[in-house]
Structure 1
Amino acid sequence: MKQQTSRPFATHSGLHSMLLASLLCVAGSLAFAQGSPSASRFYEDALQRYEKKDYAGSVIQLKNALKENPNNLPVQLLLGKALLENGDVAAAEVAFNEALRLGVNRAEVVERLGQAMVAQGKQLTMLAHPALQTAGLPNGLQLRMHLLRAGAQADLGQIAPALQSINQARQLDSSAPDVWLAEVPIRIRSKSFAEALQAVDRALTIAPNMAEAHYQKGSILHVQGDLPGATAAYARALQLEPNHVEALIAQIGLHLDFNRLDDAARDVASLQRVSPKEPRGSYFKALLAERKGQVPQAQAALREVTSLLDPVPMSFMRYRSQLLMLNGLAHHGLNEPEKARQYLEAFLRTQPNSPVTRLLARIYLSTGSVNEAATLLENYLKNQPGDGLASNLLGSVYIAQGKHARAATLMQQTLKSQDLPEYRTTLGMSLLGAGQTASALAELEAAYKKDPKQLAAAIVLAQLYLREGQPAKGLALVQTLVNQQPANAGLQNLLGSAHAQNGDPKAARAAFEKAAQLSPDLTQAQLNLARLDLDARALDAAEQRLTNVLKTNPRDTDALADMARVADLRGKTAEAQTWLEKARDNSGPRELRWNLALIDLHLRAGRPEQALAEAKIAQGKSSDNITGLLLYSRAQLAMGDAMGARGTLGRATRLADFDADLQVEIASQQLAAQNLDGAYYSLDKALTGQPDSLPAQVLMARVELQRGEVAKAEQRARNIVQKYPRRAVGHTLLGDLALAQNKPGPALEAFRKAHATEPSSGSTLRLMQTLETQGNDKSAQETALQRLRQTPRDTNVLHALASLHARAGRPAEAAKSYQSLLSFQPQDVPALNNLANVQIKLGDKTALQTAEKAHGLAPANALVIDTLGWAHHHFGQQDKALSLLRDARLREPSNPEIRYHLAKVLAQSGRRSEAQEELREAMKTGRPFEGAQEAAELLKTLN
């Protein structure tokens, strides 16, 4: 349920208040009813009830009187008045017409009869009704009838006739404030705010203490966004007339806008006391209950609204846009989107530029009508470009459509007008979708810092921390969210993911189990538990969990894909392929995840032809889908078909138009296809569409460097440094440029600046690499240690430090770093493999155990198999070593180190000729490898 309060409620927008707005009080007693004494007593009692505003009781007594004499004129007239006051407008019209038939002077009924007809949506009939023409009426009544006709004409969109009717009223009495106030709603509707203010100021000159005039001025200021001015005007109206319904309603809206709940509750109580059947009072009551977390009370109040408004004929509602909006909001709050949609669409036909557009767009989104939501919001923002909330929603719609660059551009423009945390959240989401992770992270951090209640920002931010090598930070944030909402199953599930990435599978399992306990239907928790089983190589347990998920939903594509992983880990590639094909076939028509997974499976299995065939299936899902085209080009590249990839990417470039993010992705693949000119063309389009696109600027600088345009690349890099002084990427580019020009000193200085500006795993690794290359091993080591003192769980840096120690001939230090890394990530196969290698050098027999663990996690990895075979060789188990090393060599024959290891074991086993052949092939590659000198010496001895 979303409150819409950025515009004030227009005068006469509620049913009850609309019907009563211009009724006169009963002035004097009507003639006594003719007939029996009992009829007279019924009439007198009815009159007293009417004067006490007991309209329902009055109607009962009058009907009793009519049973005795249906042609009693005073009874029919009073009955019409009582029915009108009680909201029964159709019956009131009948009673007034009966009074006319019985001979009442039309001056006694025309105003009320006209109101009853308008309340039923009979504006055209009222305007043409012979008895309701103004000629011959007393001046005061004639004036009021001109104003009533003006309102009906305005309802019908007849603005010029409406203003003419108002002018006719003014000719009768220009000193009456009502003849000026009647113009205000018409001028507001046509956005003629200057004329509206002139009219209301004229009324205030005539009647400075008229509450209605101050209310009307407040409504103009409210629409114009002058909230302080509107607040003061509404307060003045209520000071003059504490029971002014419209001013009360407007003031409640402002209280809610500024979260002044106690003030709002006080005014809602006053409103319901003054006008108990006012549907807006019930709606406000629902809003207050919702904000206090009182869901049942909120729902009950919304039912009050719909019970009051659903029976009202649409013929009347169509002229009362605020009633349409109100009932639409109520049905929306009751989770009745189709009913809400009906009323809100009708409302927007009368008020096309209303902020209610935002709510209808949300309903479209919730029912899958994404394109309709986009069109609705785009048209609205053409007329209301300053509506940040609508821009924010359109940004979300663009994200749902996959138009991340458009979403980012829109939100960046919106933030220039108003910096709200929810806008930064949407910007962060769009940047993330566009692949600009660092920028997305910064925006989401800013949103969460500004408003810790931005749950969406906090959740995505935590996920980013986990994904981007900051698991401790992610865990801390998720734990904070869970502490705030311990019964939130989704957050418990996220907590499990955070623990898993922090290397604590026990805590992860506990959190996932808690999530499953809180919400047994939460499939994601079950899937995560299955993935923990997979990580622990508990394949049977994982398979059982996944089977249970598939019993409930046989088409759950994530479960099907995880079953593929079970099969893959068991070495059953064909079965894994079958599961992934099921996932693909049960996915949406535009879902490409499982096509991508199948391509990966085929490529890992050395089946590039099948990978390409699968890529064609993906493209077939949508021939003009850019994602599909990019996937197809990757498969072509895997097949070595660079020319074919260039053609596919050329088509993608045309389809991407000036979308900067898509063009950057295309350019990256063009570079992989060795099409430097194609990459340059894509980036030029990207920068034409979005000159400030940082990813495009960065990649263009790298392309210019490869094209030999060093001066251009350097100037672009310096511009990036100047424009983004808090980002590392510009300094990194300058470092790369310096290296390309063989300027090691400036390169090192640039990488130091990059690291100081925006320290990260990436900047640390780049600086370490440069220092090591320049022979400054000690500084490289200190750079890593400094990062680890600040971020001890940075596994990327731990890995790099361990490798640095290993290359420098410090196996003991390397082993220590790898062990530290594995305490956080016990399933890290490269770390296990490398640790086993340094343990071999140290003569540590636990190398076998370490290598076995790596092999258990990655049984098809040639490097892992080689390490295990090499360990068996070093510790005297030559038969096992030979079997494993032959396996490794067959999987990766181009690896000279694996060939050397196999040759070493072959030579010791007496297979000299075979050993010679392996060594010759290893030396032919020309690739440097550890043990190359020993390999050359061994070959000499064998010759």
Structure 2
Amino acid sequence: MSNATDCQPLFAAVPAQEAKRGSGSWHFLGRVSRLPFRAAKGARCHPFLTALFLLVLLAGSGAGLWGYASHQWRGAQSALNAERPDEARARLALCLRVWPRNPEVHLLAARAARLTGDFPAAEAHLNRCLELQEGATEGVQLEFLLMRVQAGDIDTLAPALFRLVDQKHPESSMILDSLARAYIHRLRYKPAYGCLSRWIEAQPTSAKPYYWRAWALERLNNPKAAKLDYARALELDPNLLPARLRVAEMHLEDRMPDDAQPHLEYLQRQSPDDPRVRARFGIYHYLRGNAAQARELMEPALAELPTDAPLLITLANLDIQENQPERAEPRLRAALRADPADTEALFALAAALRLQGRTQDAADTLAEHDRKRAALARINAILKDLTDSPTGTADNDAELGGMFLEIGRENVALYWLERALERDPNNARAHRTLAEHYQTKGDLPKAEAHRRQARAPATIPTPGAGTRPAP
């Protein structure tokens, strides 16, 4: 054991006068280089103090990490409430490292993953909850159900979920939110409207259901009621950016830039770096006839919003006005790649092609515009008047699927065709449409299977078959 006389203070300082002695800095650096050895010697001489120091250091680090993780946990909850699931997942990554065995953290991580559409990650977190809790809690079971709903299994699960809402389940708002989003994703706006109305009844001071119901009302061709719901959402939450942005867009679509101006100015103060705000301000200036200011705002925004249809179409129209149809054409084709049924883009493309002297291409594009415009009108009529109504039939769903294929929306088309066959497995119209679709895709076995089904004799439907009232 070392003598007490050999022991120095744990972290002995270099005397100031020694730093000035001898050859100056070389002597000083030599003393500094021996600091680790002095520290080790001090640790041997003062083991208790060393241990205490390290314990305090570790405790401080642990407390700091715990506090930071708690901050991230609260931030993740706020991000989910504000519909920012990607941000929530980033924050929860640290929480999962600090609390890897906490089922509550895994449950929230599952919810965030589900809302971003990452079902494998959501399922992995839920399975981890099952392991940690040695079984399924009510919260885990509910999250599994909502994941299935979001994946498309709506009609099977909706009755059970509505019963939970009727029983005043504490997560009723989340249940109605998830159901409404699933219906909206599949263009079933009537049941979505019903879910959102029930949410408003349960939480009349929440802005979010008013915003989503306004969105559904627009699709049900009721812009007047939609504006009232948007206005109510902004009364409850003036900083609800999506609602205010949509109100500004509606005024711009109606070519009423003066009515859009106060909303755009509010958005600019609230979120000055948002490219969507800059883009809409550019459209505002375009409608006011300020071409230079419009282009100055829209061109930089396009780098961040390369598939934004209103921005692309407005820039293209500005190009056409300035007799630059060659610049307009690629913008419009980009908009059509994002949405082949964008009739406004098709009409502008026909104009751009005509200005280039490509009369036949312009005529073909205009014919496509007329065909898709008629198809969209029929689609909107079916969605508004027949879908999810007592008079709706499997044949309506099959017609809807065929029209979505016609305008280039394959995923939505397949959903409606499959739904038609769920309601009537022998529906010839759905089978014929699917046979033609798979033939075009080169999937000959599927095409032949549906062709055989289309030729099969139809069975006599039982009373009420082919109808399914909305929940």
Q: TM-score, normalised by structure 1?
A: 0.29
- Which residue matches 2:121? 339
Cα pair 1:490 1:515 within 8 Å, conserved? yes
Instruction: Kindly provide the CA deviation profile for residues 859-887 of structure 1, in whole angstroms up to 9, marking residues without a partner as x.
Output: xxxxxxxxxxxxxxxxxxxxxxxxxxxxx
| CA displacement 1:650-696 (0-9 Å, x = unmatched) | xx9xx9xxxxxxxxxxxxxxxxxxxxxxxxxxxxxxxxx89xxxxxx
Q: Which has the higher contact order (CA 8 A, sep 6+)?
A: 2
Name the CA shift for 1:502/1:627 in 2 (closer, same or farther; >3 Å).
Answer: farther
Superimposed CA distance per residue, residues 795-835 of structure 1 (whole angstroms, 9 cap, x where no aligned partner): xxxxxxxxxxxxxxxxxxxxxxxxxxxxxxxxxxxxxxxxx
**Residue of structure 2 equivalent to 1:495:** 281
- Give secondary structure in 1 for the equivalent of 2:139: coil
Relative to structure 1, the CA distance from residue 333 to residue 538 in structure 2 (aligned partners, 3 Å threshold; closer, same or farther) is closer
Q: Distance in 1 between matches of 2:365 and 2:103?
A: 54
Trace 1:190-339 onto structure 2 (pairs within 5 A).
273=63, 284-288=70-74, 302-307=92-97, 321-322=103-104, 324-326=106-108, 328=110, 338-339=120-121
Superposed displacement of residue 481, structure 1: 0.8
Residues 358 and 377, structure 1, Cα contact 8 Å, conserved in 2: no
Is the partner of 1:532 in helix, strand or coil? helix
Partner of 1:16: none
Q: Secondary structure at the match of 2:221?
A: coil
Distance 1:488 1:340 in 2: 30
1:157 equivalent in structure 2:
none
**Structure 1 residues 300, 428: closer, same or farther in 2, change over 3 A?**
closer
Q: Provide closer, same or farther for how the CA distance between residues 330 and 554 of structure 1 changes in structure 2, counting only shifts above 3 A.
A: closer
1:434, CA displacement in angstroms? 0.6
8 Å Cα contact 1:282-1:301 kept in structure 2: no
Does the CA contact (< 8 Å) of 2:114 and 2:147 recur in 1?
no
Counterpart of 2:165 in structure 1 is 384
Structure 2 distance, partners of 1:490, 1:561, is: 24
Which secondary structure state, in structure 2, belongs to the residue aligned with residue 625 of structure 1?
Answer: helix
- Rounded to whole Å, the distance in 2 between the matches of 1:332 and 1:468 is 36
In the TM superposition, residue 289 of structure 1 has moved relative to its aligned partner by: 5.2
Measure the CA separation in 2 of the matches of 1:491 and 1:356. 40
CA contact (8 A) 2:249 2:260 kept: yes
The one-character-per-residue Cα deviations of 1:103-122 (angstroms, maximum 9, x if unpaired) are: xxxxxxxxxxxxxxxxxxxx
1:516-537 per-position Cα deviation (integer Å, ceiling 9, x unaligned): 35x2745544443112222444
Write the distance in 1 (CA, Å) between the matches of 2:265 and 2:121. Answer: 40
- Name the structure 1 match of 2:195: 410
Q: SS in structure 1 opposite 2:272?
A: coil
2:399 to 602, 609, 624: 624
Q: Deviations over 1:755-795 (max 9, x none)?
A: xxxxxxxxxxxxxxxxxxxxxxxxxxxxxxxxxxxxxxxxx
**Aligned residues, how many?**
325
Against the structure 1 CA distance between its residues 345 and 597, is the aligned structure 2 distance closer, same or farther, given a 3 Å change threshold?
Answer: farther
Letter in 2 for 1:384: V
Judged with a 3 Å threshold, the aligned counterparts in structure 2 of structure 1 residues 334 and 362 are, in CA distance, closer, same or farther, namely closer
Displacement of 1:570: 6.0
- Conserved? CA contact 1:358–1:393, under 8 Å: no
Q: Kindly provide the amino acid, as one letter, of the partner of residue 353 in structure 2.
A: A
Residues 621 and 510 (structure 1), Cα distance of their counterparts in 2 relative to 1, 3 Å cut: farther
Letter in 1 for 2:235: K
Partner of 1:398: 183
**Aligned match of 1:472 in 237, 254, 258?**
258
**8 Å contact kept, 1:357–1:377:** no
Say if 2:443 is the partner of 1:443.
no
The Cα of 1:325 is off from its aligned counterpart by 1.4
Q: Sort the Cα spacing of 1:401 and 1:544 in 2 relative to 1 into closer, same or farther, 3 A.
A: closer
Cα displacement (A) at 1:339: 1.9
Displacement of 1:425: 0.8
**C-alpha distance in 1, partners of 2:116/2:173?**
26
What CA distance in whole angstroms lies between the structure 2 residues aligned with 1:529 and 1:572? 21
Change (3 A) 1:326 1:451: closer
- Give a deviation string over 1:625-669, Cα, whole Å, max 9, x none: 18949x99xxxxxxxxxxxxxxxxxxx9xx9xxxxxxxxxxxxxx
Q: What is the distance in 1 between the residues matched to 2:181 and 2:159?
A: 13
CA change 1:354–1:375 in 2 (3 A) is farther
For the residue of structure 2 that corresponds to 1:574, the secondary structure is helix
Gap change, CA 1:389 and 1:397, over 3 Å in 2: same
2:31 equivalent in structure 1: none
Task: Give secondary structure in 1 for the equivalent of 2:399.
Answer: coil
Q: Whole-Å Cα distance in 2 between the matches of residues 390 and 521 of structure 1?
A: 34
Alignment of 1:570-581 (within 5 A): 572=358, 574-576=360-362, 578-579=364-365
Aligned ranges 1:577-588 → 2 under 5 Å:
578-579=364-365
The residue type paired with residue 466 of structure 1 is L
Report if aligned partners of 2:129, 2:140 keep a CA contact under 8 Å in 1: no
Question: 1:442 deviation in Å?
Answer: 0.7
**Alpha-carbon contact 1:392-1:411 (below 8 Å) kept:** yes
Q: Which letter maps to 1:529?
A: L
Which digits, 9 at most, give the CA deviation of each residue in 1:592-637, with x for residues without a partner?
A: x88414889xxxxxxxxxxxxxxxxxxx9973318949x99xxxxx
Q: Which of 596, 612, 618 lines up with 2:372 in the alignment?
A: 596
Whichever residue aligns with residue 398 of structure 2, its letter is S
Identity across matched positions, percent: 18
- 8 Å contact 2:319–2:325 — kept in the other structure? yes
Q: Distance in 1 between matches of 2:397 and 2:359?
A: 28
1:400 to partner: Cα distance? 1.9
Other structure's SS at 1:623 match: helix
Computed over aligned residues only, the root mean square deviation of the Cα atoms, in angstroms, reads 5.3
Show the counterpart of 2:248.
Answer: 462
Contact 1:358 1:390 in 2 (8 A): no
